[in-house]
Chains A and B, each alone.
Chain A
Amino acid sequence: MSTVNLTGPSGIRKFKDKLAFVAVCAAFALAVIPLVTLLYTVIKNGAKRFDMEFFTHSMNAIGGRDAGGGAYHAIIGTIEQVGLASVISIPIGVLTAVYLVEYGGGRRLARIVTFFVDVMTGVPSIVSGLFVFAFWIALLGFEYMGFAGSLALAVLMLPTVVRATEEMLKLVPNDLREASYALGVPRWRTICFVILPTAFTGIITGVMLAIARVMGETAPLLMTVFVTTAINNSPFKGPQMALPLFVWDQAQLPQQVAIDRAWAGALTLILFVMLLNLAARLIARLRKPVSR
Protein backbone atom coordinates (compact mmCIF):
# COMPACT_ATOMS: atom_id res chain seq x y z
CA MET A 1 0.00 0.00 0.00
CA SER A 2 1.42 3.37 -0.94
CA THR A 3 1.51 6.22 1.50
CA VAL A 4 -1.11 8.89 1.00
CA ASN A 5 0.32 12.03 -0.51
CA LEU A 6 -1.55 15.18 0.43
CA THR A 7 0.93 17.79 -0.74
CA GLY A 8 -0.33 20.41 -3.18
CA PRO A 9 -0.35 20.06 -6.94
CA SER A 10 2.99 19.36 -8.56
CA GLY A 11 4.84 22.13 -10.36
CA ILE A 12 3.76 20.94 -13.76
CA ARG A 13 0.07 20.91 -12.76
CA LYS A 14 0.35 24.38 -11.30
CA PHE A 15 1.92 25.54 -14.51
CA LYS A 16 -0.82 23.98 -16.63
CA ASP A 17 -3.42 25.63 -14.42
CA LYS A 18 -1.79 29.05 -14.91
CA LEU A 19 -1.52 28.46 -18.62
CA ALA A 20 -5.19 27.59 -18.93
CA PHE A 21 -6.10 30.62 -16.85
CA VAL A 22 -4.08 32.94 -19.07
CA ALA A 23 -5.52 31.36 -22.20
CA VAL A 24 -9.08 31.87 -20.95
CA CYS A 25 -8.39 35.49 -20.04
CA ALA A 26 -6.77 36.14 -23.41
CA ALA A 27 -9.72 34.63 -25.24
CA PHE A 28 -12.07 36.81 -23.22
CA ALA A 29 -10.03 39.93 -23.97
CA LEU A 30 -9.97 39.08 -27.67
CA ALA A 31 -13.72 38.70 -27.65
CA VAL A 32 -14.27 41.96 -25.82
CA ILE A 33 -11.83 44.10 -27.83
CA PRO A 34 -14.03 44.42 -30.93
CA LEU A 35 -17.06 45.26 -28.82
CA VAL A 36 -15.27 47.90 -26.78
CA THR A 37 -13.60 49.50 -29.79
CA LEU A 38 -16.90 49.52 -31.62
CA LEU A 39 -18.70 51.20 -28.73
CA TYR A 40 -15.85 53.64 -28.27
CA THR A 41 -15.73 54.63 -31.94
CA VAL A 42 -19.46 54.99 -32.26
CA ILE A 43 -19.78 57.04 -29.09
CA LYS A 44 -16.82 59.25 -29.95
CA ASN A 45 -17.96 59.95 -33.50
CA GLY A 46 -21.65 59.92 -32.74
CA ALA A 47 -21.48 62.39 -29.87
CA LYS A 48 -20.77 65.32 -32.20
CA ARG A 49 -24.28 65.41 -33.61
CA PHE A 50 -26.05 63.75 -30.69
CA ASP A 51 -28.04 66.89 -29.94
CA MET A 52 -31.60 68.19 -29.69
CA GLU A 53 -31.77 69.13 -33.32
CA PHE A 54 -30.84 65.61 -34.33
CA PHE A 55 -33.83 64.20 -32.49
CA THR A 56 -36.35 66.87 -33.46
CA HIS A 57 -35.62 67.57 -37.12
CA SER A 58 -35.76 65.65 -40.35
CA MET A 59 -33.49 66.05 -43.37
CA ASN A 60 -36.18 67.81 -45.35
CA ALA A 61 -34.66 70.54 -47.53
CA ILE A 62 -31.22 69.92 -46.12
CA GLY A 63 -28.62 68.97 -48.64
CA GLY A 64 -25.70 66.70 -47.96
CA ARG A 65 -23.38 69.70 -47.71
CA ASP A 66 -25.49 71.53 -45.15
CA ALA A 67 -24.90 71.18 -41.46
CA GLY A 68 -27.84 70.58 -39.07
CA GLY A 69 -30.77 68.36 -39.85
CA GLY A 70 -31.63 65.23 -37.95
CA ALA A 71 -33.00 61.75 -37.88
CA TYR A 72 -36.44 62.40 -36.42
CA HIS A 73 -38.09 61.03 -39.56
CA ALA A 74 -35.90 57.95 -39.46
CA ILE A 75 -36.51 57.29 -35.76
CA ILE A 76 -40.28 57.54 -36.24
CA GLY A 77 -39.99 55.18 -39.20
CA THR A 78 -37.88 52.61 -37.38
CA ILE A 79 -40.16 52.59 -34.31
CA GLU A 80 -43.26 52.14 -36.44
CA GLN A 81 -41.78 49.57 -38.81
CA VAL A 82 -40.19 47.47 -36.10
CA GLY A 83 -43.28 47.85 -33.91
CA LEU A 84 -45.58 46.62 -36.66
CA ALA A 85 -43.18 43.81 -37.55
CA SER A 86 -43.28 42.74 -33.90
CA VAL A 87 -47.05 42.93 -33.76
CA ILE A 88 -47.18 40.61 -36.75
CA SER A 89 -44.43 38.16 -35.96
CA ILE A 90 -44.53 37.77 -32.17
CA PRO A 91 -48.08 36.38 -31.88
CA ILE A 92 -47.64 34.17 -34.94
CA GLY A 93 -44.22 33.02 -33.78
CA VAL A 94 -45.22 32.29 -30.19
CA LEU A 95 -48.38 30.46 -31.26
CA THR A 96 -46.41 28.43 -33.80
CA ALA A 97 -43.94 27.42 -31.08
CA VAL A 98 -46.80 26.54 -28.72
CA TYR A 99 -48.25 24.34 -31.43
CA LEU A 100 -44.92 22.67 -32.13
CA VAL A 101 -44.08 21.94 -28.51
CA GLU A 102 -47.47 21.40 -26.88
CA TYR A 103 -49.53 19.90 -29.66
CA GLY A 104 -47.11 18.83 -32.40
CA GLY A 105 -45.56 15.77 -30.81
CA GLY A 106 -43.87 14.55 -33.99
CA ARG A 107 -47.01 14.85 -36.11
CA ARG A 108 -46.62 15.33 -39.84
CA LEU A 109 -47.82 18.94 -39.81
CA ALA A 110 -45.40 19.74 -36.99
CA ARG A 111 -42.51 18.29 -38.98
CA ILE A 112 -43.49 20.31 -42.03
CA VAL A 113 -43.75 23.52 -39.99
CA THR A 114 -40.35 22.85 -38.41
CA PHE A 115 -38.87 22.35 -41.87
CA PHE A 116 -40.22 25.66 -43.11
CA VAL A 117 -39.05 27.49 -40.03
CA ASP A 118 -35.57 26.09 -40.68
CA VAL A 119 -35.72 27.27 -44.26
CA MET A 120 -36.89 30.71 -43.19
CA THR A 121 -34.01 31.00 -40.74
CA GLY A 122 -31.66 30.77 -43.68
CA VAL A 123 -33.38 33.39 -45.84
CA PRO A 124 -30.91 36.23 -46.51
CA SER A 125 -32.37 39.55 -45.44
CA ILE A 126 -32.17 41.05 -48.92
CA VAL A 127 -34.29 38.17 -50.18
CA SER A 128 -37.05 38.90 -47.72
CA GLY A 129 -37.00 42.49 -48.99
CA LEU A 130 -37.13 41.31 -52.59
CA PHE A 131 -39.96 38.94 -51.72
CA VAL A 132 -42.09 41.67 -50.20
CA PHE A 133 -41.23 43.96 -53.09
CA ALA A 134 -42.27 41.35 -55.64
CA PHE A 135 -45.40 40.33 -53.78
CA TRP A 136 -46.68 43.47 -52.06
CA ILE A 137 -45.50 46.20 -54.39
CA ALA A 138 -45.02 44.67 -57.81
CA LEU A 139 -47.81 42.08 -57.71
CA LEU A 140 -50.47 43.60 -55.44
CA GLY A 141 -49.60 47.12 -56.60
CA PHE A 142 -49.20 48.85 -53.26
CA GLU A 143 -46.88 51.85 -53.09
CA TYR A 144 -43.65 51.99 -51.11
CA MET A 145 -44.56 52.35 -47.46
CA GLY A 146 -43.35 51.65 -43.96
CA PHE A 147 -45.70 48.71 -43.64
CA ALA A 148 -44.04 46.94 -46.56
CA GLY A 149 -40.80 47.22 -44.61
CA SER A 150 -42.58 45.79 -41.57
CA LEU A 151 -43.62 42.79 -43.62
CA ALA A 152 -40.05 42.18 -44.74
CA LEU A 153 -38.79 42.52 -41.16
CA ALA A 154 -41.55 40.23 -39.89
CA VAL A 155 -40.43 37.54 -42.33
CA LEU A 156 -36.95 37.81 -40.82
CA MET A 157 -38.16 37.90 -37.22
CA LEU A 158 -40.61 35.06 -37.39
CA PRO A 159 -38.20 32.10 -37.42
CA THR A 160 -36.11 33.63 -34.63
CA VAL A 161 -39.18 34.09 -32.46
CA VAL A 162 -40.40 30.55 -33.17
CA ARG A 163 -37.02 29.04 -32.39
CA ALA A 164 -36.44 31.03 -29.20
CA THR A 165 -39.93 30.33 -27.89
CA GLU A 166 -39.69 26.66 -28.81
CA GLU A 167 -36.46 26.26 -26.88
CA MET A 168 -37.93 27.98 -23.84
CA LEU A 169 -41.12 25.91 -23.90
CA LYS A 170 -39.07 22.73 -24.11
CA LEU A 171 -37.25 23.80 -20.96
CA VAL A 172 -40.49 23.87 -18.97
CA PRO A 173 -40.41 20.63 -16.96
CA ASN A 174 -43.07 18.12 -17.84
CA ASP A 175 -43.81 17.83 -14.10
CA LEU A 176 -45.52 21.21 -14.25
CA ARG A 177 -47.79 20.21 -17.11
CA GLU A 178 -48.73 17.06 -15.23
CA ALA A 179 -49.24 18.97 -11.99
CA SER A 180 -51.66 21.23 -13.77
CA TYR A 181 -53.52 18.46 -15.61
CA ALA A 182 -53.83 16.56 -12.33
CA LEU A 183 -55.70 19.54 -10.87
CA GLY A 184 -58.27 19.18 -13.59
CA VAL A 185 -57.03 22.15 -15.57
CA PRO A 186 -57.63 21.87 -19.32
CA ARG A 187 -54.68 21.93 -21.66
CA TRP A 188 -55.21 25.41 -23.08
CA ARG A 189 -55.46 26.93 -19.59
CA THR A 190 -52.36 25.03 -18.58
CA ILE A 191 -50.55 26.57 -21.54
CA CYS A 192 -51.78 30.10 -20.82
CA PHE A 193 -51.41 30.15 -17.05
CA VAL A 194 -48.65 27.69 -16.24
CA ILE A 195 -46.42 27.00 -19.22
CA LEU A 196 -46.19 30.40 -20.89
CA PRO A 197 -45.64 32.25 -17.57
CA THR A 198 -42.92 29.78 -16.62
CA ALA A 199 -41.16 30.28 -19.94
CA PHE A 200 -41.98 33.99 -20.05
CA THR A 201 -38.59 35.39 -19.10
CA GLY A 202 -36.82 33.30 -21.71
CA ILE A 203 -39.37 34.10 -24.38
CA ILE A 204 -39.08 37.83 -23.70
CA THR A 205 -35.31 37.64 -23.96
CA GLY A 206 -35.53 35.75 -27.24
CA VAL A 207 -38.12 38.14 -28.64
CA MET A 208 -36.04 41.17 -27.67
CA LEU A 209 -33.02 39.70 -29.40
CA ALA A 210 -35.11 39.12 -32.49
CA ILE A 211 -36.35 42.72 -32.41
CA ALA A 212 -32.84 44.04 -31.87
CA ARG A 213 -31.58 42.02 -34.79
CA VAL A 214 -34.12 43.31 -37.31
CA MET A 215 -33.87 46.87 -36.02
CA GLY A 216 -30.50 47.26 -37.72
CA GLU A 217 -31.53 45.59 -40.97
CA THR A 218 -30.98 47.79 -44.00
CA ALA A 219 -31.32 45.55 -47.02
CA PRO A 220 -34.96 44.47 -46.60
CA LEU A 221 -36.01 48.11 -46.20
CA LEU A 222 -34.33 49.42 -49.33
CA MET A 223 -36.91 48.01 -51.69
CA THR A 224 -39.89 48.35 -49.40
CA VAL A 225 -39.95 51.64 -47.50
CA PHE A 226 -37.81 53.50 -50.00
CA VAL A 227 -35.76 56.46 -48.83
CA THR A 228 -37.08 59.86 -47.92
CA THR A 229 -35.82 62.98 -46.23
CA ALA A 230 -39.20 64.05 -44.93
CA ILE A 231 -41.19 63.13 -41.88
CA ASN A 232 -43.90 60.61 -42.65
CA ASN A 233 -45.87 59.61 -39.58
CA SER A 234 -47.97 57.03 -41.38
CA PRO A 235 -46.45 53.65 -42.05
CA PHE A 236 -49.31 52.95 -44.43
CA LYS A 237 -48.86 55.79 -46.86
CA GLY A 238 -45.88 56.69 -48.97
CA PRO A 239 -42.13 56.27 -48.46
CA GLN A 240 -40.82 56.32 -44.94
CA MET A 241 -37.31 56.55 -43.56
CA ALA A 242 -35.61 54.19 -41.11
CA LEU A 243 -32.52 54.57 -38.96
CA PRO A 244 -30.30 52.03 -40.74
CA LEU A 245 -31.27 53.61 -44.06
CA PHE A 246 -30.45 57.01 -42.65
CA VAL A 247 -27.00 55.83 -41.62
CA TRP A 248 -26.46 54.17 -44.98
CA ASP A 249 -27.69 57.24 -46.86
CA GLN A 250 -25.58 59.76 -44.92
CA ALA A 251 -22.46 57.64 -44.78
CA GLN A 252 -22.33 57.55 -48.57
CA LEU A 253 -21.86 61.31 -48.77
CA PRO A 254 -18.37 62.77 -48.83
CA GLN A 255 -19.04 65.72 -46.49
CA GLN A 256 -17.98 65.51 -42.86
CA VAL A 257 -21.34 66.93 -41.65
CA ALA A 258 -23.10 64.01 -43.32
CA ILE A 259 -20.66 61.48 -41.93
CA ASP A 260 -21.24 62.94 -38.46
CA ARG A 261 -24.98 62.50 -38.92
CA ALA A 262 -24.42 58.89 -39.91
CA TRP A 263 -22.42 58.25 -36.72
CA ALA A 264 -25.08 59.89 -34.58
CA GLY A 265 -27.65 57.67 -36.29
CA ALA A 266 -25.56 54.59 -35.55
CA LEU A 267 -25.24 55.63 -31.91
CA THR A 268 -29.00 56.10 -31.69
CA LEU A 269 -29.55 52.65 -33.13
CA ILE A 270 -27.21 51.07 -30.60
CA LEU A 271 -28.94 52.92 -27.78
CA PHE A 272 -32.29 51.62 -28.96
CA VAL A 273 -31.01 48.06 -28.85
CA MET A 274 -29.57 48.59 -25.38
CA LEU A 275 -32.85 50.07 -24.18
CA LEU A 276 -34.68 47.02 -25.48
CA ASN A 277 -32.32 44.76 -23.58
CA LEU A 278 -32.79 46.77 -20.41
CA ALA A 279 -36.54 46.66 -20.85
CA ALA A 280 -36.39 42.88 -21.24
CA ARG A 281 -34.44 42.55 -18.02
CA LEU A 282 -36.80 44.84 -16.19
CA ILE A 283 -39.84 42.91 -17.33
CA ALA A 284 -38.17 39.66 -16.33
CA ARG A 285 -37.44 41.02 -12.87
CA LEU A 286 -40.95 42.32 -12.34
CA ARG A 287 -42.35 38.90 -13.16
CA LYS A 288 -41.07 37.23 -9.99
CA PRO A 289 -43.87 36.31 -7.55
CA VAL A 290 -44.84 39.41 -5.62
CA SER A 291 -44.74 39.72 -1.87
CA ARG A 292 -48.00 40.47 -0.17
Chain B
Amino acid sequence: MAKRIEVSGLNAYYGKTRAIEDISMTIEPRSVTAFIGPSGCGKSTFLRTLNRMHEVIPGARVEGKVLLDDLDLYGPDVDPVAVRRVIGMVFQRPNPFPTMSIYENVVAGLKLNGVRRKAQLDEIVEKSLRGANLWNEVKDRLGRPGAGLSGGQQQRLCIARAIAVEPQVLLMDEPCSALDPISTLAIEDLIASLKDQYTIVIVTHNMQQAARVSDRTAFFNLAGPGKPGRMVEIDETNKIFTNPGEKATEDYITGRFG
Protein backbone atom coordinates (compact mmCIF):
# COMPACT_ATOMS: atom_id res chain seq x y z
CA MET B 1 0.00 0.00 0.00
CA ALA B 2 2.89 2.41 0.50
CA LYS B 3 3.83 4.17 -2.70
CA ARG B 4 6.84 5.81 -4.25
CA ILE B 5 6.79 9.54 -4.99
CA GLU B 6 8.79 10.94 -7.84
CA VAL B 7 9.10 14.69 -8.15
CA SER B 8 10.61 16.35 -11.16
CA GLY B 9 11.19 19.98 -12.04
CA LEU B 10 8.89 21.31 -9.36
CA ASN B 11 8.43 25.05 -8.77
CA ALA B 12 5.96 26.54 -6.32
CA TYR B 13 4.74 30.11 -6.21
CA TYR B 14 2.92 32.39 -3.79
CA GLY B 15 1.37 34.88 -6.16
CA LYS B 16 4.28 36.15 -8.20
CA THR B 17 7.06 35.10 -5.83
CA ARG B 18 8.67 31.76 -6.43
CA ALA B 19 9.20 29.99 -3.10
CA ILE B 20 10.94 26.85 -4.35
CA GLU B 21 12.78 26.20 -7.53
CA ASP B 22 13.31 23.18 -9.73
CA ILE B 23 13.12 20.39 -7.19
CA SER B 24 13.48 16.79 -8.28
CA MET B 25 13.69 13.81 -5.97
CA THR B 26 12.48 10.30 -5.39
CA ILE B 27 10.86 9.36 -2.10
CA GLU B 28 11.07 5.64 -1.46
CA PRO B 29 8.11 3.63 -0.19
CA ARG B 30 8.17 2.12 3.32
CA SER B 31 10.89 4.45 4.44
CA VAL B 32 11.25 7.71 6.28
CA THR B 33 12.59 10.66 4.36
CA ALA B 34 13.60 13.74 6.36
CA PHE B 35 13.76 17.30 5.05
CA ILE B 36 16.21 19.56 6.83
CA GLY B 37 17.36 23.10 6.15
CA PRO B 38 17.19 26.63 7.51
CA SER B 39 13.85 28.38 8.12
CA GLY B 40 12.16 29.86 5.12
CA CYS B 41 13.91 27.70 2.54
CA GLY B 42 10.65 26.14 1.44
CA LYS B 43 10.49 22.78 3.22
CA SER B 44 6.87 23.27 4.24
CA THR B 45 5.99 24.65 0.85
CA PHE B 46 7.52 21.65 -0.88
CA LEU B 47 5.84 19.21 1.50
CA ARG B 48 2.48 20.81 0.80
CA THR B 49 2.92 20.48 -2.94
CA LEU B 50 3.10 16.71 -2.45
CA ASN B 51 -0.55 16.40 -1.45
CA ARG B 52 -1.85 19.44 -3.26
CA MET B 53 -2.34 21.42 -0.07
CA HIS B 54 -0.23 24.24 -1.48
CA GLU B 55 -2.97 25.41 -3.80
CA VAL B 56 -5.38 25.87 -0.88
CA ILE B 57 -3.65 29.20 -0.24
CA PRO B 58 -5.13 31.94 -2.44
CA GLY B 59 -2.81 32.80 -5.32
CA ALA B 60 -0.52 29.83 -4.75
CA ARG B 61 0.34 27.55 -7.66
CA VAL B 62 2.67 24.76 -8.67
CA GLU B 63 4.58 23.85 -11.80
CA GLY B 64 6.17 20.52 -12.46
CA LYS B 65 5.43 16.86 -11.94
CA VAL B 66 4.69 14.77 -8.89
CA LEU B 67 4.21 11.08 -9.64
CA LEU B 68 2.64 8.74 -7.12
CA ASP B 69 3.84 5.45 -8.56
CA ASP B 70 2.74 6.15 -12.12
CA LEU B 71 0.00 8.67 -11.56
CA ASP B 72 0.70 12.37 -12.06
CA LEU B 73 -0.88 14.14 -9.09
CA TYR B 74 -1.09 17.36 -11.09
CA GLY B 75 -2.64 15.66 -14.09
CA PRO B 76 -5.68 17.32 -15.66
CA ASP B 77 -8.35 14.98 -14.28
CA VAL B 78 -6.92 14.44 -10.83
CA ASP B 79 -9.10 15.63 -7.98
CA PRO B 80 -7.02 17.32 -5.27
CA VAL B 81 -9.51 16.16 -2.64
CA ALA B 82 -8.90 12.55 -3.65
CA VAL B 83 -5.13 13.11 -3.58
CA ARG B 84 -5.34 14.26 0.03
CA ARG B 85 -7.18 11.12 1.02
CA VAL B 86 -4.26 9.07 -0.23
CA ILE B 87 -1.52 11.38 1.07
CA GLY B 88 -2.23 12.40 4.64
CA MET B 89 -0.67 15.24 6.57
CA VAL B 90 0.24 16.12 10.15
CA PHE B 91 0.89 19.76 10.94
CA GLN B 92 3.37 21.60 13.08
CA ARG B 93 0.81 22.70 15.63
CA PRO B 94 -1.58 19.99 16.84
CA ASN B 95 -4.97 20.94 15.44
CA PRO B 96 -7.71 18.60 16.69
CA PHE B 97 -11.23 19.73 15.86
CA PRO B 98 -12.35 21.64 18.97
CA THR B 99 -16.03 20.77 18.74
CA MET B 100 -15.37 17.05 18.51
CA SER B 101 -14.60 14.37 21.07
CA ILE B 102 -11.50 12.19 20.84
CA TYR B 103 -13.55 9.50 19.13
CA GLU B 104 -15.09 11.93 16.67
CA ASN B 105 -11.71 13.44 15.89
CA VAL B 106 -10.29 10.08 14.91
CA VAL B 107 -13.18 9.22 12.64
CA ALA B 108 -13.60 12.76 11.29
CA GLY B 109 -11.97 11.98 7.95
CA LEU B 110 -14.06 8.85 7.49
CA LYS B 111 -17.31 10.32 8.70
CA LEU B 112 -16.94 13.46 6.65
CA ASN B 113 -16.49 11.16 3.70
CA GLY B 114 -19.56 9.13 4.41
CA VAL B 115 -18.51 6.06 6.46
CA ARG B 116 -21.29 5.65 9.01
CA ARG B 117 -21.33 2.06 10.30
CA LYS B 118 -20.81 2.20 14.05
CA ALA B 119 -19.07 -1.16 14.42
CA GLN B 120 -16.67 -0.35 11.63
CA LEU B 121 -15.93 3.08 13.09
CA ASP B 122 -15.33 1.62 16.57
CA GLU B 123 -12.85 -0.79 15.12
CA ILE B 124 -11.03 1.91 13.17
CA VAL B 125 -10.86 4.18 16.22
CA GLU B 126 -9.16 1.51 18.29
CA LYS B 127 -6.82 0.52 15.50
CA SER B 128 -5.81 4.10 14.71
CA LEU B 129 -5.35 5.11 18.33
CA ARG B 130 -3.27 1.98 18.94
CA GLY B 131 -1.31 2.84 15.83
CA ALA B 132 -0.67 6.30 17.22
CA ASN B 133 0.37 4.93 20.65
CA LEU B 134 -2.48 6.75 22.28
CA TRP B 135 -5.05 4.03 22.92
CA ASN B 136 -4.01 3.18 26.47
CA GLU B 137 -4.06 6.80 27.54
CA VAL B 138 -7.50 7.66 26.19
CA LYS B 139 -9.48 4.44 25.92
CA ASP B 140 -11.58 5.34 28.97
CA ARG B 141 -12.42 8.83 27.85
CA LEU B 142 -13.10 8.63 24.12
CA GLY B 143 -16.10 10.90 24.56
CA ARG B 144 -14.12 13.75 26.08
CA PRO B 145 -13.09 16.74 23.98
CA GLY B 146 -9.97 16.16 21.90
CA ALA B 147 -8.78 19.66 22.74
CA GLY B 148 -8.57 18.67 26.41
CA LEU B 149 -5.53 16.44 25.87
CA SER B 150 -1.93 17.52 26.40
CA GLY B 151 0.02 18.88 23.44
CA GLY B 152 1.82 15.60 22.81
CA GLN B 153 -1.38 13.62 23.09
CA GLN B 154 -3.12 16.05 20.75
CA GLN B 155 -0.40 15.57 18.18
CA ARG B 156 -0.72 11.79 18.45
CA LEU B 157 -4.48 12.24 18.12
CA CYS B 158 -3.84 14.15 14.91
CA ILE B 159 -1.64 11.30 13.70
CA ALA B 160 -4.39 8.82 14.57
CA ARG B 161 -6.82 10.99 12.65
CA ALA B 162 -4.50 11.04 9.67
CA ILE B 163 -3.92 7.27 9.61
CA ALA B 164 -7.60 6.48 10.20
CA VAL B 165 -8.33 7.23 6.56
CA GLU B 166 -5.57 4.73 5.63
CA PRO B 167 -3.43 6.94 3.44
CA GLN B 168 -0.48 5.56 1.52
CA VAL B 169 1.84 8.40 2.31
CA LEU B 170 2.09 10.42 5.51
CA LEU B 171 3.57 13.91 5.42
CA MET B 172 4.64 15.48 8.73
CA ASP B 173 5.63 19.12 9.01
CA GLU B 174 7.79 19.55 12.11
CA PRO B 175 5.38 17.38 14.12
CA CYS B 176 7.43 17.64 17.31
CA SER B 177 8.45 21.26 17.31
CA ALA B 178 5.72 22.25 19.75
CA LEU B 179 6.26 19.25 22.03
CA ASP B 180 8.30 18.35 25.09
CA PRO B 181 11.12 15.76 24.83
CA ILE B 182 9.04 12.87 26.17
CA SER B 183 6.20 13.44 23.72
CA THR B 184 8.81 13.88 21.00
CA LEU B 185 10.26 10.51 21.81
CA ALA B 186 6.79 8.95 21.73
CA ILE B 187 6.23 10.39 18.27
CA GLU B 188 9.62 9.26 17.02
CA ASP B 189 8.86 5.71 18.19
CA LEU B 190 5.58 6.00 16.42
CA ILE B 191 7.25 7.08 13.18
CA ALA B 192 9.58 4.10 13.39
CA SER B 193 6.65 1.73 13.76
CA LEU B 194 4.58 3.36 11.02
CA LYS B 195 7.23 3.06 8.37
CA ASP B 196 6.49 -0.62 7.73
CA GLN B 197 3.20 0.45 6.25
CA TYR B 198 3.55 4.00 5.07
CA THR B 199 5.81 6.17 3.06
CA ILE B 200 6.73 8.89 5.53
CA VAL B 201 8.13 12.32 4.89
CA ILE B 202 9.07 14.44 7.88
CA VAL B 203 10.25 18.02 8.02
CA THR B 204 12.35 18.69 11.07
CA HIS B 205 14.48 21.41 12.53
CA ASN B 206 16.15 18.97 14.81
CA MET B 207 19.08 17.26 13.16
CA GLN B 208 19.40 14.58 15.81
CA GLN B 209 15.81 13.75 15.09
CA ALA B 210 16.47 13.49 11.37
CA ALA B 211 19.43 11.23 12.13
CA ARG B 212 17.38 9.08 14.50
CA VAL B 213 14.21 8.52 12.51
CA SER B 214 15.02 8.80 8.84
CA ASP B 215 16.47 6.51 6.21
CA ARG B 216 17.10 9.25 3.73
CA THR B 217 17.63 12.96 4.25
CA ALA B 218 17.22 15.86 1.88
CA PHE B 219 18.92 19.16 2.59
CA PHE B 220 17.19 22.34 1.44
CA ASN B 221 18.69 25.79 1.24
CA LEU B 222 17.99 29.19 -0.23
CA ALA B 223 19.64 29.74 -3.56
CA GLY B 224 20.72 33.09 -2.13
CA PRO B 225 19.24 35.96 -0.15
CA GLY B 226 15.83 36.81 -1.58
CA LYS B 227 15.99 33.87 -3.97
CA PRO B 228 13.75 30.80 -3.95
CA GLY B 229 14.64 27.70 -1.95
CA ARG B 230 16.04 24.61 -3.63
CA MET B 231 17.10 21.13 -2.71
CA VAL B 232 20.86 20.89 -2.31
CA GLU B 233 21.11 17.13 -2.05
CA ILE B 234 19.34 13.97 -0.97
CA ASP B 235 21.06 10.82 0.15
CA GLU B 236 21.16 8.09 2.77
CA THR B 237 20.84 9.76 6.16
CA ASN B 238 24.08 8.15 7.25
CA LYS B 239 25.94 9.61 4.36
CA ILE B 240 24.44 13.09 4.73
CA PHE B 241 25.48 13.25 8.35
CA THR B 242 28.94 11.74 8.00
CA ASN B 243 30.08 12.51 4.51
CA PRO B 244 27.79 14.94 2.68
CA GLY B 245 28.39 15.59 -0.98
CA GLU B 246 28.03 19.36 -0.76
CA LYS B 247 29.91 21.89 1.31
CA ALA B 248 26.69 23.76 2.20
CA THR B 249 25.24 20.61 3.73
CA GLU B 250 28.29 20.06 5.83
CA ASP B 251 28.28 23.66 7.01
CA TYR B 252 24.64 23.35 7.98
CA ILE B 253 24.85 20.09 9.88
CA THR B 254 27.98 21.10 11.68
CA GLY B 255 26.16 24.23 12.81
CA ARG B 256 28.17 26.73 10.83
CA PHE B 257 24.95 28.42 9.68
CA GLY B 258 21.16 28.06 9.81
What is A's interface to B at a CB cutoff of 8 Å? 105-106, 173, 175-186, 189-190, 193-194, 197-198, 200, 287-292
Contacts and interface: CB of A to CB of B under 8 A. Distances in A.
A182 B101 contact: no
Interface stretch (B7-15, B35-43, B157-165): B157-165
Given A183-B108, A183-B109, A291 B143 contact: yes
A184 B53 contact: no
Interface in B36-82: 51, 53, 56, 58, 81-82
B56 A181 contact: yes
Nearest to B158: A179
Given A175-B91, A182-B51, A186-B81, A287 B109 contact: no
Interface stretch (B92-100, B192-200, B217-225): B92-100
| Interface secondary structure of B, over-half rule | mixed
B198 to A, nearest CB: 15
B174 interface: no
Nearest to B92: A175
Contacts of A193: 108, 111-112
A106 B91 CA distance: 27
A66 B171 CA distance: 79
B19 to A, nearest CB: 17
A193 B93 CA distance: 21
Contacts of A177: 56
B101 A184 contact: no
Interface string B128-166: 000000000000001111100000000000100110010
A183 B93 contact: no
Contact of A175 (B81, B93, B111): B93
Contact of A176 (B58, B82, B97, B104): B97
B95 A176 contact: yes
Given A173-B95, A176-B95, A289-B100, A184 B85 contact: yes
A166 to B, nearest CB: 17
A185 B112 contact: yes
6 contacts: A178-B53, A182-B89, A193-B111, A198-B98, A289-B99, A291-B143
A7 to B, nearest CB: 39
A181 B79 CA distance: 12
Contacts of B144: 289, 291
B95 A183 contact: no
A180 B111 CA distance: 12
A194 B98 CA distance: 9
Contacts of A287: 99
A208 to B, nearest CB: 19
Contacts of B95: 173, 175-176, 178-179
B84 interface: yes
A85 to B, nearest CB: 28
Given A180-B108, A289-B104, A292-B103, A185 B81 contact: yes
B236 to A, nearest CB: 29
Contacts of B104: 289
B56 A184 contact: no
Contacts of B165: 183-184
A21 to B, nearest CB: 36
A175 B89 CA distance: 12
Given A183-B165, A290-B143, 16 more contacts: A106-B58, A175-B95, A177-B56, A178-B56, A178-B91, A179-B91, A179-B158, A181-B53, A182-B88, A183-B85, A183-B109, A184-B81, A185-B113, A186-B81, A197-B99, A198-B99
